[in-house]
Amino acid sequence: MKKFAYWIMVMALLSAFLAGCGATEAPPEATMAPETEPTAAEAEPTAAEAEQPAGEEQTMVIGFTTSQTGSYNVSSLRQVNGLMLWMNEVNDAGGITLSDGTVVKFDYKTYDDESTTERVQELYTRLSTEDNADFLISPYSSGLTAAAALIAEQYGKIMITTGAASDSTYKEGYTLVFQAYTPSSRYLTGAVDLLAHVDPSVKQLAFVYENDKFSTDVVNAANEYAESLGYEVVLFEGYDSETKDFGPFINKILESGAQAVMGGGHFQDGSTFARQVHEKDVDMNYFALLVAPPEPDFADLGDAAVGVIGPSQWEPLAAFTPESAAEAGLEWFGVLGSEFDAAYQAAYDEEPSYHSMGGYVAGQILQKAIMDADSTDPEAVKAAMEAMDMLTAYGRINFDTSPEAHGLQIGHSMVYIQWQKDDAGNLVKQVVWPLEGKTADTLYPKP
Amino acid sequence: MLVPSLMDGLLLGFVYGIAAMGLSLIWGVMDVINLAHGPIIALGMFGIYLGFTGLGLNPYLMLILVIGGGLLLGVLIYWVAVHRVINAPHLSTLLATFAVNMIIIGIATAIFTTSPRNVDFNLGGFPVGPITLPWTRILAALASVLVTALLYLFLYQTRPGKAIRAVSDNRAAAELMGIPTSWILALAFGLGTMLAAISGGLISTFFPFTILAGSSYELKSFVICVLGGLGNPLGALIGGLLLGALEGIIPAFMETSWVPVLEFVLFVLILLVRPQGLLGSKT
């Protein structure tokens, strides 16, 4: 037995050593660019530009990491798919033509970050120094983005963050990091409002959430908001990201007497949580989870998905149009949501999720900033982003420019979806909140 | 809350026990720590997943194929990676099985990616008072008890089983008695991997997984082996139940982040106070 314990320790040391060796190896380049037909009208040169002589072509390298492996794999790949779709559309449409005739096109450099902070730090340093990326796009998730943002700021690279909602990254005094997502402090507050709307008699809430930066930020903000509305939070507990068995949490929820449950974290844990709630036949009236429900793959849960609510940064049903931009007094930019939806499905043969749109809009923000700046100079592009206030298929984009929260997204807001069954018994996503954007009434109580 | 938590934990513990039994058997018979244990658990999960989603087979029917596949894979791994270094220092067998671990993970990641998978198989629940126990977990526990019983019968009532025990006791003496020790070692390795594959297959019916999911169950298996005692299948099952019960009960009283802390405190205590484990003695 002592020998066995000795060999376990040897094995642990060996694993740590090999993991360390692995971290210094050159990672493989991702090859994920789809072959797409150009659909972007916005990248086409104007008549005035077309009259100019063809200028010098300039290729901007966008650096980012992809979680090709690890727990963020699903969401990260969709985010990168959206970004690649944007890049192909712009390049296929001839790039961006500046007033001096320069044609700006885009290329990319990416590596697998294995969903770990350590890899992100190493790879964003590499992208900024060895690969000389001109602009950076964040990895997926708030935790990884916090690590990448530090590197971007250190090496003076503009970074557009997407798939990263945590507020705290933008309160570090950074000046080059710009957020596409609605911040986590506003992620679940709408779910509390929806609950108050569908059943004002509910007064006890439970928060069960993933113990990571993003989810903790979200539930802390939602908890504060719920308490300000008079709710009693009877359970507030985090779980490890690798949790597979939610039995202990489900038992605690039952014990607490909570009438509504909110929380979750990312796709894998959220879908597991929902499945086990269904298997254990838990009497839960209201169940709202982060990230997982808006993903099309959530429907694989079958009946376990019915009634589950989730905040979404974007849904194909969302009706942002040039007309709504005009009504709001905003500049419209880019394609319609339905055009993005069709182009994405043609390229990847799957429905886009909001992560896909997040990748796409990150590219759009960079494109619009270069167009507004009429330059690729980082200072000019940064100034254009600070002045940006536009409406896209994704929604409104406007950044905080105060020193306290520079780069924080203040224009965009969430929609809330719920999985319901249509007349034919098929699972469909419906927008249930805000009321002005709803496509169906909320299914309450959850079956 | 204590009773439902304990029942949840015990049902899981049976399956943990099966996983640990495989590791324990291989160590007990041939003094090899099988670092490919985790990936084989994951392959068991994917076996069920592919049968269920690709062929539409009932997971429990598919388990029969997983059992056969696990046994054959183990025999193959033994002859390819372990046999030539079986008498070499322990580091050689450790590295050999680690290499197999890396090969399986590398190939399987290329094929399946690390995307989470889910066997969408729900048999409903069995109400016990105020709680509902999912049938998939109940059946997994029953299957684990059946496998343990069959393993005992095999080891104590059949000729190959007795040969495995003889080789475990004294390989040289068994060789002199005419036992083909290399084939017996291959069989033992096959049985160990078969048990790992079975546990993975059963887990896949109620938990989602990726190709990397086996590592956490491998770690649990090491702890269980120390708790229950090496080389003793019943010890592994009891160790599994103990670990499952802890995982069920601890969160009822404190934050779940304390579970691994207390588990490993127990691990160290057992090593200090009763290093042979609860039922341990090398057979």
pLDDT tens column, A255-291: 898 989 999 998 889 999 999 999 888 888 999 999 8
What gap in Å lies between CA B9 and CA B6, rounded to an integer? 5
Average pLDDT over residues B90-113: 92
User: Where along chain A do its domains lie?
Assistant: 28-182+317-398, 186-312+414-437
Give CA B175 to chain center in angstroms.
28
Domain covering A186-312+414-437 in this structure, CATH number? 3.40.50.2300
Average pLDDT over residues B72-89: 93
| pLDDT, mean over chain A | 86
Considering only CA atoms, give the Rg of chain A: 23
Give the Cβ contact number of residue A391 at 10 Å.
25
- Tell me, what's the pLDDT at A95? 96
Average pLDDT over residues A337-355: 93
Beta bridge partners of A107: A61
Say if CB A186 and CB A411 are below 8 A apart. no
For residue A411, the 8-state DSSP code is S
Cβ A242–B91 below 8 Å, yes or no?
Answer: no
Q: What is the DSSP string of B16-56?
A: HHHHHHHHHHHHHHH----TTHHHHHHHHHHHHHHHHHHS-
In angstroms, the separation between the Cα of residue A8 and the nearest Cα of chain B is: 8
Question: Which two structure tokens, joined as six digits, stand for A150?
Answer: 């530090």
Q: Which residue has the tokens 């056969």?
A: B68
- Tell me, what's the pLDDT at A359? 97
Cβ B113–A304 below 8 Å, yes or no?
Answer: no
Say if CB B226 and CB B271 are below 8 A apart. yes
Higher pLDDT, B232 or A138: A138
Look at phi and psi of residue A229 and say left if phi exceeds 0, alpha if psi is from -120 to 50, else beta: alpha
Average pLDDT over residues A118-136: 95
- Tell me, what's the pLDDT at A38? 39
pLDDT per residue as tens digits for the range A97-113: 999 999 999 999 999 99
Say if CB A214 and CB A140 are below 8 A apart. no
- Tell me, what's the pLDDT at A398? 95
Question: Which two structure tokens, joined as six digits, stand for B87?
Answer: 């008498």
Q: Which of A2, A7, A278 to mutate to test the interface with B (most CBs of B within 10 A)?
A: A7
Average pLDDT over residues B39-50: 96
In angstroms, the separation between the Cα of residue A113 and the nearest Cα of chain B is: 13
Say if CB A172 and CB A304 are below 8 A apart. no
For residue B209, the 8-state DSSP code is B
In angstroms, the separation between the Cα of residue A210 and the nearest Cα of chain B is: 11
**pLDDT grade, residue A4 (50/70/90)?**
low
Looking at A67-141, list the stretches that DSSP marks H as alpha helix, in order from N- to C-terminal side: 73-92, 117-129
pLDDT per residue as tens digits for the range A198-208: 999 999 999 99
Q: Is A93 exposed, middle or buried (0-12, 13-18, 19+ CB in 10 A)?
A: middle
A245 in contact with chain B, both atoms CB, cutoff 8 A: yes
Largest Cα span, chain A: 82
Looking at chain B, list the stretches that DSSP marks H as alpha helix, in order from N- to C-terminal side: 2-30, 37-54, 59-77, 90-112, 135-157, 159-169, 171-176, 181-203, 214-228, 233-253, 258-273
Average pLDDT over residues B106-133: 83
Q: Angle, to 10 degrees, between the axis of helix A73-92 and the axis of helix A354-373?
A: 40
Least confident of A76-85, A333-342, B109-118: B109-118
Q: How far apart are the first and last CA of chain B?
A: 40
Cα-based angle B252, B254, B257 (whole degrees, multiple of 5): 110
- Tell me, what's the pLDDT at A436? 65
Cβ A5–B247 below 8 Å, yes or no?
Answer: no
**pLDDT grade, residue A11 (50/70/90)?**
low
B121 pLDDT exceeds 90? no
For residue B118, the 8-state DSSP code is -
Give CA B252 to chain center in angstroms.
26
Q: Which residue has the tokens 């007349």?
A: A423
Phi (first) and psi of residue B95, to 5 degrees: -70, -35
What gap in Å lies between CA A317 and CA A194, rounded to an integer? 19
**pLDDT grade, residue B255 (50/70/90)?**
confident
SS3 A54: coil
- The one-letter amino acid code at A247 reads G
Cα–Cα nearest to A363, from A89, A170, A58, A20? A89
How far lies B237's CA from each of A307, A334, B95, B147, in Å?
39, 61, 28, 11
SS3 A399: strand
Say if CB B140 and CB B14 are below 8 A apart. yes
Is this complex's ipTM strictly greater than 0.85?
no
- The one-letter amino acid code at A180 reads A
- Tell me, what's the pLDDT at A28? 35
pLDDT per residue as tens digits for the range A220-230: 999 999 999 99
Portion of chain A with pLDDT greater than 70, in percent: 87
**pLDDT grade, residue A8 (50/70/90)?**
low
User: Considering only CB atoms, which chain B residues are within 8 Å of A254?
Assistant: 1, 4, 130-131
Average pLDDT over residues A304-317: 90
Say if CB A298 and CB A308 are below 8 A apart. yes
How far lies A370's CA from each of A4, A161, A336, A366, B41, in Å?
62, 17, 21, 6, 51
Bridge-based pairing state of the strands A96-97 and A103-112: antiparallel
User: Considering only CB atoms, which chain B residues are within 8 Å of A244?
Assistant: 207-208, 213, 216
- Tell me, what's the pLDDT at B281? 56
Give the Cβ contact number of residue B123 at 10 Å.
16
B30 in contact with chain A, both atoms CB, cutoff 8 A: no
B233 pLDDT exceeds 90? no
Cβ A7–B132 below 8 Å, yes or no?
Answer: no
**pLDDT grade, residue A16 (50/70/90)?**
very low
Phi (first) and psi of residue A235, to 5 degrees: -150, 130
Q: Which residue has the tokens 């950044």?
A: A399
B106 in contact with chain A, both atoms CB, cutoff 8 A: no
User: Considering only CB atoms, which chain B residues are within 8 Å of A275?
Assistant: 118, 208
Average pLDDT over residues A211-215: 86
B281 in contact with chain A, both atoms CB, cutoff 8 A: no
Average pLDDT over residues B91-104: 94
A35 pLDDT exceeds 70? no
Considering only CA atoms, give the Rg of chain B: 18
A53 pLDDT exceeds 70? no
Say if CB B43 and CB B223 are below 8 A apart. no
A42 pLDDT exceeds 70? no
Bridge-based pairing state of the strands A415-421 and A309-312: antiparallel
Average pLDDT over residues A330-352: 93
Residue of A nearest to B135 (CA): A279
In angstroms, the separation between the Cα of residue B70 and the nearest Cα of chain A is: 24
Look at phi and psi of residue A98 and say left if phi exceeds 0, alpha if psi is from -120 to 50, else beta: beta
pLDDT per residue as tens digits for the range B156-205: 999 999 999 999 889 899 999 999 999 999 999 999 999 999 999 999 99
Average pLDDT over residues B70-93: 92
Domain covering B2-120+138-273 in this structure, CATH number? 1.10.3470
- In this complex, the residue of A8, A73, A304 whose CB is nearest that of residue B113 is A73
- Tell me, what's the pLDDT at A46? 42
Average pLDDT over residues A26-48: 39
Domain A28-182+317-398 has CATH 3.40.50.2300: yes
**pLDDT grade, residue A3 (50/70/90)?**
low
Q: Going by C-beta distance under 8 Å and a sequence separation of 6 or more, which residues neighbour residue B3?
A: B129, B131
Q: Going by C-beta distance under 8 Å and a sequence separation of 6 or more, which residues neighbour residue A298?
A: A267, A271, A274, A292, A305, A308, A310, A419
- Tell me, what's the pLDDT at A2? 54
User: Where along chain B do its domains lie?
Assistant: 2-120+138-273
Q: Is B12 exposed, middle or buried (0-12, 13-18, 19+ CB in 10 A)?
A: buried
User: Considering only CB atoms, which chain B residues are within 8 Å of A243?
Assistant: 256
- Which A residues in the span 224-243 are in contact with B, Cβ-Cβ below 8 Å? 237-240, 242-243
**pLDDT grade, residue A7 (50/70/90)?**
low
Q: Going by C-beta distance under 8 Å and a sequence separation of 6 or more, which residues neighbour residue A346?
A: A36, A37
Least confident of A52-66, A379-393, B81-95, B136-150: A52-66
pLDDT per residue as tens digits for the range B6-16: 888 899 999 99
| pLDDT, mean over chain B | 89
Residue of A nearest to B89 (CA): A7
User: Considering only CB atoms, which chain B residues are within 8 Å of A267?
Assistant: 116
Least confident of A71-85, A284-298, B90-104, B244-258: B244-258
Portion of chain A with pLDDT greater than 90, in percent: 61
**pLDDT grade, residue B230 (50/70/90)?**
confident
